[in-house]
Amino acid sequence: MKIGELSRATGTNIETIRYYERIGLLPKPHRTVANYRSYGDPHRARLTFVRHSRDLGFTIEEIRSLLDLSDDPGRDCSEADRIASRHLAQVEDKIAQLTLLRDELTRIVGRCRGGVAAECRVIEALGDHRHCASAH
């Protein structure tokens, strides 16, 4: 399989595939006589794993650890669990933080009654955190 096919098969940008190879996340594939990259099913599976993990918000370094783990089938899987749990906690933190932000923004947006910038409550609120109802 050439890089364009792998790209279509996994929904990954070609440049991204080459990027993953450069940073050592994907192994270097064989080359054809024309120096084209040539991939097999294990490459496809690995890239699918990477893309899916990225879609779930894992960082490249986390994915690197997860791949190391899955390359070593006899190892204890508790590290995978730890990485995923920590990531879940981060997502929960982020949701909490964005929820505060949303509430504050809702309040700010709701204050504008139209008119000129000098009297705009949105601009006023942005200039002074003391108008805010919570930390953020």
Partner DNA sequence: ATGCACCCTGTAGCAACTACAGGGTCAAGA
Partner DNA sequence: TCTTGACCCTGTAGTTGCTACAGGGTGCAT
- Residue 15 contact partner, candidates its own copies, DNA, Zn ion, none, CB within 5 to 8 A by sort of partner: DNA
By CB under 7 A, is residue 48 in contact with DNA? no
Contact map string, positions 88 to 127, toward Zn ion, x by CB under 5 A:
------------------------x-------x-x-----
> Rule CB under 7 A: is residue 87 a binding residue for DNA?
no
73 sits near its own copies (criterion: CB under 8 A):
yes
End-to-end CA distance of the chain: 49
Please, are residues 6 and 39 in contact by the beta-carbon 8 Å criterion?
Answer: yes
Give the interface segment with its own copies, choosing from 13-21, 26-34, 35-43, 74-82 (CB under 8 A).
74-82
Binding-residue pattern over the window 6 to 45 for its own copies, x denoting contact by CB under 8 A = ---------------------------------------x
31: three-class secondary structure by DSSP:
strand
DSSP 45-74: HHHHHHHHHHHTT--HHHHHHHHHHHTSTT
**b/e map 78-108, b = 16+ CB within 10 Å:** eeeeebeeebeeeeeeeeeeeeeeeebeeeb
Residues in region 6-25 near DNA by CB under 7 A? 7, 13-16, 18-19
